[in-house]
């Protein structure tokens, strides 16, 4: 089931005549390419828009998973503070990698991902998004391999920062340490909320996954029971035998419905919960970024402060040779100026993150309430549908069974 | 990803509070882990003392559960503890009424449907369409096994104070005139049950005698384990009740004596193999060197290992001759109808075995569904609580409310699955019961074939005796005046022939008797099987329908409540 969200920038109206700006993307048609170890899946990405920045009303490109990763990473770098939409899982158990189920889940996840970006006020304006949606395949490949290069340069740093912040985060949450951290009660509360939320949602998702399995097992057992009842019915040659056969056939029919429901449950209930977990994890990455930005801002401010003190000292203990002192002074104050520029930049970066995060939290809560609401609706609908199918199927057997019992008395 | 590191160390913390969460919403009887085996023992330990039997029932059901008693409608209001438990008044959950399940979708069908979900072993029901009871409409006999106690072996214990065994209190209530009384109790040990079972097997050859519970070889430590004793108690009760249901066996002396006579069981015990071997070894030389025939009275029992070595040997020879010999045996199983029936029974047994296994899988799958749904519900309840506590935005509050709705539904559905399963167990139990009965059928058939073999052996023996006689007569006629030793030999032979002829007559009579028993039993078995299976299927289906509807309702409400989120597309 594809989701085609029609996006119209920041306006609220849905798809309307061409006067309203819109940008709509869909990810379709997964195709396996390549051989052996290097085999991969490619997707068609279809963009429909009337925005002037784009080359025309419709564009189709071919993209693979690592292209999406490139886009995500670029956006993460450039839009710090925004909760970048999460991607479906990177790795998968080898043999599962090309199963129809996995591919469909991934396609769905990628479609949701790109649409969330396209409907986000800031992100939809990104150059990288435009590149992603329009560049030809060779360009994309070049960019992709370039960036893994850049990325490889700093992963250690990046991950290390995250790890540091993570431990600091947990420590702070546990009240162990108070290093270079914002002492903002509201923010503390938020961080605590995010960390706890992840655990709770992950648990729910775990049980949702198990429930899918249970449906499959239930279906399997009903199918087997049905078969054995049919065999048993064949043994008996009278009405009872027929009853067994009918029941067996119904049992097998119902089991098919169970398998279908299991699939529906996986795509429309478990996957959204997983997506929820990933979204929370994305927020954690942003929290790490904010901590990093804060640290830089503080450190720079501190450095400047120390340097200014040193400068003042210099002023007070200036030497007799005024010319020399002036020269020293000029030399000392030069780096301070560039430091001050850097500090301002760091402060701006930090404040941007803070501002964005506040907006993002509101958006996040709204989005999640909607997403989960849909998931719940689908879940309930599916379960009701299944139960009704059960009831109908079994009920249809009753008249015959009643007729039987009148005969044998 | 980042999250995973946190997850594992937080998890332990989460699960510590799981127990609290479980008690938050649900009462004890809903607490997650009632396993399948708990259900079974719970079912059988439901006190049947508050189920007054009314007239038309021949025998009480094995698991008489007040829910299933058609006459006492009021019992529907007080369901047993393990099944449809009355939940405490709780804003989340309605107390389910079993009556609702059965009655709501089927207006106007009332008691018929209630009967439909009866315990499978209830043979005759008071609704016209199911009635199987014949003449014995007002008889009943009800047996209960209870109160296991440890006792000491008083004599002959090599290990002082070592030999303990368990006795059970067997209580009977009956209005059958053959018993001298209406209520009585005795104490019996398992060994007594074995004796009873062996004696019945001897006296009722050809009948489908219900098989007794297994004699598991256990050490005294295991014997003392609560669970084992309880399992055995249940099995014994089932066995005795089945015996009492059998139209012929319920009137047997053996059963009467077992149920009534105080103190030591006055039935001959099955002698142990060693002494039989000794007996047999003593007899054998005499049998070999003289013309000894099988005594007529022995012929009515199959040749037993040890004692009747010679007879065993002869019969074995005969059966080999039957299978491999050039000529047809002197008497064959001619009844084609019987042969077909036998084939069918064999088929039936195989299919029953398979169906029985699949029924077990189904029960497990249903149980798992219920469990996982319950866990899902709990997880969402925790989330709801969390979001409510931490709510900063309105979106969170809305979400928390949505979650609560879903969680409640999941918990309700989970409970319905468990109830559904408890009933499914009872219905599909019929499969297991009949599988057990196939043992009885097989042993009745083998009674028949061993009786046939005895006849065949005797016939062959007669043949050979005749021919020896003839040869001897021819030989002695050539000697004028006769040969003293030959004449004596002839007379001996003639005497042996006479005895063997008698034995042959008895054996044939016995064989015919067993054949007749087989026939009657097969007819009875077929009828009862049809009826029981039909009841089982109907009960199973009704049960499924009832609960499917309830579950559908629960989810329909949630779908309704969340319909605001419904997408236009798809």
Closest alpha carbon within chain A to B549: A391
Determine whether the interchain pair B395/A240 forms a contact, defined as Cβ–Cβ distance below 8 Å: no
Nearest by CB: B129 against A210, A377, A405: A405
Report B:349-388 residues touching A (Cβ under 8 A). Answer: 351-352, 354-355, 357-359, 361-362, 364-366, 368-369, 372-373, 375-376, 379-380, 382-383, 386
Q: Identify which of B2, B48, B234 has the alpha carbon closest to the alpha carbon of residue B142.
A: B48
Res B399: pLDDT = 93
Residues of B in contact with A222 (CB under 8 A): 362, 365
Nearest by CB: B406 against A170, A244, A376: A376
Residues of B in contact with A281 (CB under 8 A): 1-3
Query: CB–CB of B469/B490 below 8 Å?
Result: yes
Fold assignment, B138-153+162-274 = PX Domain (3.30.1520)
Nearest by CB: A225 against B362, B382, B542: B362
- Angstrom distance (rounded) from CA A117 to CA A277: 18
Q: Identify which of B132, B143, B124, B127 has the alpha carbon closest to the alpha carbon of residue B249.
A: B143
Residues of B in contact with A373 (CB under 8 A): 398-399, 402, 562, 564-565
- Angstrom distance (rounded) from CA A369 to CA B401: 10
Contacts of B60 (CB under 8 A, 6+ apart): B48, B51, B53, B122, B140, B142, B241
Q: Is B391 on the interface with A (CB under 8 A)?
A: no
**Across A230-234, A332-336, B53-57, B223-227, which has the greatest mean pLDDT?**
A230-234
Report B:448-507 residues touching A (Cβ under 8 A). Answer: none
Shortest Cα–Cα distance, A171 to chain B (Å): 12
Provide the mean pLDDT of chain A.
Answer: 84
Res B74: pLDDT = 36
Shortest Cα–Cα distance, A157 to chain B (Å): 15
Mean pLDDT of B179-203: 88
Closest alpha carbon within chain B to A239: B530
Closest alpha carbon within chain B to A400: B538
Mean pLDDT of B135-160: 74
Closest alpha carbon within chain B to A280: B3
Q: What ipTM was predicted for this assembly? A: 0.83
Determine whether the interchain pair A235/B542 forms a contact, defined as Cβ–Cβ distance below 8 Å: no
Q: Which residue has the higher pLDDT, A285 or B4?
A: A285
* pLDDT, tens digit (0-9, with 9 covering 90-100), for B242-281: 899 898 998 888 998 898 888 888 887 765 555 556 666 6
**Across A150-164, B119-133, B380-394, which has the greatest mean pLDDT?**
B380-394
Res A239: pLDDT = 86
Helix (H, G, I), strand (E, B) or coil at B566: coil
* pLDDT, tens digit (0-9, with 9 covering 90-100), for B58-117: 333 334 343 333 333 333 333 333 333 333 333 333 334 333 444 333 333 333 333 333
Closest alpha carbon within chain B to A203: B379
Residue that is written with structure tokens 């989970």 in the block: B414
Nearest by CB: B355 against A206, A220, A232: A232
Which has the minimum average pLDDT: A69-73, A168-172, B336-340, B382-386? A168-172
Residues of A in contact with B380 (CB under 8 A): 204
Shortest Cα–Cα distance, A89 to chain B (Å): 9
| B389 CA to centre of own chain | 55
Mean pLDDT of A253-263: 95
Res A387: pLDDT = 96
Res B108: pLDDT = 35
Res B286: pLDDT = 65
Q: Which residue has the higher pLDDT, A173 or A20?
A: A20
Nearest by CB: A381 against B344, B393, B559: B559
Nearest by CB: A240 against B383, B534, B549: B534
Residues of B in contact with A390 (CB under 8 A): 544-545, 548, 552
Token reading at A142: 């070049």
Res B24: pLDDT = 44
Shortest Cα–Cα distance, A319 to chain B (Å): 56
Residues of B in contact with A238 (CB under 8 A): 530
Mean pLDDT of A380-405: 92
Query: CB–CB of B52/B72 below 8 Å?
Result: yes
- Angstrom distance (rounded) from CA B78 to CA A8: 61
Which has the minimum average pLDDT: A294-298, B63-67, B300-304, B541-545? B63-67
Distances (CA, A) of B158 to B154, B161, B224, B464: 11, 9, 20, 52
3-class secondary structure for A1-37?
A: CCCCCCCCCCCCCCCCCCCCCCEEEEEEEEEEECCHH
* pLDDT, tens digit (0-9, with 9 covering 90-100), for B236-249: 998 999 899 898 99
pTM of the model: 0.75
- Angstrom distance (rounded) from CA A200 to CA B6: 12
Shortest Cα–Cα distance, A248 to chain B (Å): 11
Determine whether the interchain pair B558/A220 forms a contact, defined as Cβ–Cβ distance below 8 Å: no
Q: Which residue has the higher pLDDT, B63 or B565?
A: B565
Determine whether the interchain pair A405/B538 forms a contact, defined as Cβ–Cβ distance below 8 Å: yes
| A198 CA to centre of own chain | 13
Beta bridge partners of A110: none
Would you list the domain boundaries of chain B? 138-153+162-274, 307-317+334-569
Res B220: pLDDT = 54
Contacts of A106 (CB under 8 A, 6+ apart): A30, A41, A65, A88
Res A18: pLDDT = 54
Report B:517-556 residues touching A (Cβ under 8 A). Answer: 527, 529-531, 533-534, 537-538, 540-542, 544-545, 548-549, 551-552, 555-556
Residue that is written with structure tokens 């699949």 in the block: B358
- Angstrom distance (rounded) from CA A282 to CA A278: 6
Helix H or strand E encompassing B549: helix B484-561
Q: Running DSSP on this structure, what letter comes out for residue A88?
A: P
Q: Is the pLDDT of residue B564 over 80?
A: yes
Nearest by CB: B386 against A2, A196, A404: A196
Determine whether the interchain pair A281/B1 forms a contact, defined as Cβ–Cβ distance below 8 Å: yes
Helix H or strand E encompassing A60: strand A58-64
Which of the four CATH numbers 1.20.1270.60, 3.40.109.10, 3.90.1300.10, 3.30.365.10 does domain B307-317+334-569 have?
Answer: 1.20.1270.60
Mean pLDDT of B522-531: 91
Residues of A in contact with B548 (CB under 8 A): 387-388, 390-391, 394
Report A:220-249 residues touching B (Cβ under 8 A). Answer: 220-222, 224-225, 227-229, 231-232, 234-236, 238-240, 243-244, 247
* Band of residue B287 on the pLDDT scale cut at 50, 70, 90: low
Report A:249-308 residues touching B (Cβ under 8 A). Answer: 277-278, 280-281, 284-285, 288
Interface test with A, best of B361, B389, B554, B563 (most A CBs within 10 A): B361
- Angstrom distance (rounded) from CA A75 to CA A127: 10
Token reading at B231: 């399992």
Determine whether the interchain pair B372/A211 forms a contact, defined as Cβ–Cβ distance below 8 Å: yes
Determine whether the interchain pair B376/A373 forms a contact, defined as Cβ–Cβ distance below 8 Å: no
Query: CB–CB of B241/B292 below 8 Å?
Result: no
Res A306: pLDDT = 85
Provide the mean pLDDT of chain B.
Answer: 74
Q: Which residue has the higher pLDDT, A393 or A181?
A: A393
Token reading at B559: 């779908």
Determine whether the interchain pair B10/A369 forms a contact, defined as Cβ–Cβ distance below 8 Å: no
Q: Identify which of A24, A28, A69 has the alpha carbon closest to the alpha carbon of residue A51.
A: A24
Query: CB–CB of B126/B57 below 8 Å?
Result: yes
Determine whether the interchain pair B534/A405 forms a contact, defined as Cβ–Cβ distance below 8 Å: yes
Domains in chain A (CATH in brackets) are 23-152 (3.30.1520.10), 185-407 (1.20.1270.60)
**DSSP per-residue codes, A133-173:** HHS-HHHHHHHHHHHHHHHHHSHHHHHHHHHHHHHHHHHHH
């Amino acid at each position: 089931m594809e989701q085609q969200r029609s996006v119209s920038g920041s306006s609220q109206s849905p798809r309307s005549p061409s006067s309203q700006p819109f940008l709509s993307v869909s990810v379709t048609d997964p195709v396996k390419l390549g051989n052996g170890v290097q085999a991969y899946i490619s997707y068609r990405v279809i963009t429909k828009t009337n925005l002037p920045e784009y080359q025309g009303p419709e564009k189709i490109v071919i993209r693979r998973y690592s292209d999406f990763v490139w886009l995500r990473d670029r956006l993460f770098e450039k839009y710090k503070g925004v909760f970048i939409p999460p991607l479906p899982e990177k790795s998968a158990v080898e043999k599962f990698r090309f199963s129809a189920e996995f591919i469909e889940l991934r396609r769905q996840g990628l479609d949701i991902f790109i649409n969330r970006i396209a409907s986000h006020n800031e992100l939809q304006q990104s150059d990288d998004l435009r590149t992603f949606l329009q560049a030809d395949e060779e360009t994309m490949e070049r960019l992709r391999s370039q960036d893994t290069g850049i990325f490889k340069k700093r992963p250690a740093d990046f991950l290390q920062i995250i790890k540091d912040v993570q431990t600091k985060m947990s420590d702070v949450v546990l009240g162990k340490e108070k290093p270079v951290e914002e002492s903002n009660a509201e923010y503390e509360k938020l961080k605590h909320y995010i960390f706890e939320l992840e655990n709770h949602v992950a648990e729910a998702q775990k049980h949702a996954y198990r429930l899918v399995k249970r449906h499959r097992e239930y279906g399997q057992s009903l199918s087997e029971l049905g078969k054995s009842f049919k065999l048993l019915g064949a043994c008996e040659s009278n009405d009872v035998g027929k009853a067994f056969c009918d029941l067996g056939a119904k049992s097998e029919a119902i089991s098919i419905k169970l398998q279908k429901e299991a699939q529906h449950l996986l795509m429309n209930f478990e996957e959204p919960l997983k997506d929820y977990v990933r979204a929370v994890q994305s927020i954690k990455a942003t929290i790490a970024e904010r901590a990093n930005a804060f640290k830089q801002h503080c450190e720079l401010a501190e450095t400047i402060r120390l340097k200014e003190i040193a400068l003042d000292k210099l002023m007070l203990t200036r030497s007799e040779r005024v010319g020399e002192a002036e020269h020293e002074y000029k030399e000392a104050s030069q780096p301070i100026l560039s430091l001050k520029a850097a500090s301002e930049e760091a402060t701006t970066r930090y404040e941007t993150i803070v501002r964005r995060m506040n907006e993002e939290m509101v958006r996040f809560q709204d989005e999640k309430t909607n997403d989960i609401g849909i998931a719940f609706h689908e879940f309930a609908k599916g379960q009701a549908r299944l139960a009704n199918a059960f009831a109908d199927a079994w009920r249809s057997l009753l008249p015959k069974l009643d007729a039987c019992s009148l005969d044998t008395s | 990803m980042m999250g995973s590191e946190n997850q594992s160390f937080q998890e332990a913390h989460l699960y510590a509070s799981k127990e609290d969460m479980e008690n938050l919403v649900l009462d004890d009887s809903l607490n997650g882990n009632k396993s399948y085996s708990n259900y079974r023992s719970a079912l059988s330990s439901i006190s049947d003392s508050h189920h007054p039997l009314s007239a038309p029932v021949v025998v009480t059901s094995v698991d008489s559960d007040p829910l299933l008693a058609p006459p006492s409608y009021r019992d529907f209001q007080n369901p047993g503890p393990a099944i449809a438990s009355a939940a405490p008044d709780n804003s989340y959950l309605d107390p389910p009424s079993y009556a609702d399940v059965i009655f709501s979708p089927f207006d106007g069908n009332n008691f018929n449907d209630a009967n439909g979900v009866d315990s499978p072993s209830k043979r005759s029901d008071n609704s016209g369409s199911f009635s199987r009871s014949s003449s014995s409409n007002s008889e009943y006999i009800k047996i209960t096994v209870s109160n296991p106690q440890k006792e000491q072996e008083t004599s002959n214990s090599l290990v002082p104070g070592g030999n303990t065994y368990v006795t059970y209190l067997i209580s009977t209530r009956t209005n059958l005139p053959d018993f001298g009384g209406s209520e009585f109790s005795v104490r019996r040990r398992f060994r007594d049950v074995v004796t009873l079972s062996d004696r019945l097997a001897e006296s009722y050859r050809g009948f489908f005698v219900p098989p007794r519970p297994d004699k598991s070889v256990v050490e005294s430590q295991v014997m003392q384990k609560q669970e084992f004793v309880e399992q055995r108690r249940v099995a014994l009760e089932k066995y005795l009740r089945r015996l009492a249901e059998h139209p012929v066996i319920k009137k047997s002396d053996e059963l009467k004596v077992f149920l009534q006579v105080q103190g030591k069981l006055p039935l001959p015990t099955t002698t142990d193999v060693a002494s039989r071997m000794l007996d047999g070894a003593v007899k054998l030389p005499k049998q070999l060197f003289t013309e000894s025939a099988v005594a007529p009275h022995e012929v009515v029992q199959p040749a037993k290992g040890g004692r009747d070595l010679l007879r065993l040997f002869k019969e074995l020879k005969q059966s080999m001759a039957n299978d491999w010999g050039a000529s047809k045996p002197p008497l064959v199983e001619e009844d084609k109808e019987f042969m077909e029936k036998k084939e069918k029974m064999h088929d039936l047994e195989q299919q029953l075995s398979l169906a029985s296994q699949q029924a077990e899988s189904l029960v497990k799958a249903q149980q798992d569904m219920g469990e996982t749904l319950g866990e899902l519900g709990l997880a969402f309840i925790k989330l709801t609580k969390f979001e409510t506590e931490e709510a900063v935005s309105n979106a969170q509050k809305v979400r928390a409310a949505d979650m609560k709705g879903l969680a409640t539904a999941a918990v309700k559905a989970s409970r319905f699955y468990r109830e559904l399963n408890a009933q499914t167990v009872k219905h599909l139990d019929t499969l297991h019961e009949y599988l057990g009965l196939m043992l009885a059928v097989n042993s009745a058939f083998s009674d028949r074939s061993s009786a046939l073999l005895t006849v065949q052996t005797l016939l062959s023996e007669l043949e050979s005796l005749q021919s020896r006689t003839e040869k001897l007569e021819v030989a002695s006629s050539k000697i004028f005046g006769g040969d003293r030793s030959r004449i004596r030999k002839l007379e001996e032979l003639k005497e042996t022939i006479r005895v063997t002829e008698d034995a042959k007559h008895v054996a044939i009579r016995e064989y015919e008797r067993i054949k007749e028993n087989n026939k009657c039993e097969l007819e009875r078995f077929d009828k009862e099987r049809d009826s029981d299976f039909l009841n089982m299927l109907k009960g199973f289906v009704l049960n499924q329908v009832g609960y499917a509807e309830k579950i559908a309702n629960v989810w329909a409400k949630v779908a309704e409540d969340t319909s605001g989120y419904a997408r236009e597309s798809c």
